Amino acid sequence: MIDLGERIPDLPLALSSGKTAQLIDYAGRWLVLYFYPRDSTPGCTAEGLEFNALLARFGRRKAAVLGVSRDSLTSHRNFCARQGFAFDLVSDGDESLCRAFDVIHEKVLYGKRHLGVVRSTFLIAPDQTLARAWRNVKVAGHAQAVLDAIPSR
């Protein structure tokens, strides 16, 4: 698990736009990395829509936004198209990002236990260190709280 103030690992990113990147490619600006359980579910859709609605304001603060789940690139592309997301989603099929940020934990759904992604957001500073972490996120108002944590210069 990455602690506050620690440098984040440089991991590869498979983006819904069809491009590939590395976390280091975002050096020099803020990066919001939000992890969510699954494409096209009510909470995940609401969360994505909240970030999308504030995207221009994130941009004015020199911040990029990336959503991360274990869904495939095809699923991400469809999700982005249906919802009109103007930011990339990252496919983490091998769970390397999820493991690096320690977001996979046991969950209980309808009385059954399973391992799943715990909704979490990480704010990475321009120097590639972890500036803030939100775990067990409640969707309503969360994107605004993340925006408020980024200095307005």
Residue 128 has pLDDT above 90, yes or no: yes
How many of the other CB atoms lie within 10 Å of CB of 142? Answer: 18
Q: Is 98 a catalytic residue?
A: no
Q: Tell me, yes or no, whether 6 lies in a domain.
A: no
How many of the other CB atoms lie within 10 Å of CB of 49? Answer: 15
Q: What is the pLDDT of residues 131-152, one digit of tens each?
A: 999 999 999 999 999 999 999 8
CATH number at residue 83: 3.40.30.10
For residue 105 the two structure tokens come to 């934990």
Q: Tell me, yes or no, whether 61 lies in a domain.
A: yes
Q: Tell me, yes or no, whether 45 lies in a domain.
A: yes
- Distance separating alpha carbons of residues 114 and 116, to the nearest angstrom: 6
Q: Tell me, yes or no, whether 2 lies in a domain.
A: no
The model carries a pTM of 0.92
- Mean pLDDT calculated for residue range 83-105: 94
Q: Tell me, yes or no, whether 26 lies in a domain.
A: yes
Listed residue (121, 128, 124) closest to 150, CA to CA: 124
Domain count, the chain: 1
Selected catalytic residue, list 13, 23, 44, 117: 44
Q: Tell me, yes or no, whether 4 lies in a domain.
A: no
Q: What is the pLDDT of residues 55-86, one digit of tens each?
A: 999 999 999 999 999 999 999 999 999 999 99
Domain that holds residue 95: 12-149
Query: Considering the chain, what is the average pLDDT of its residues?
Result: 93
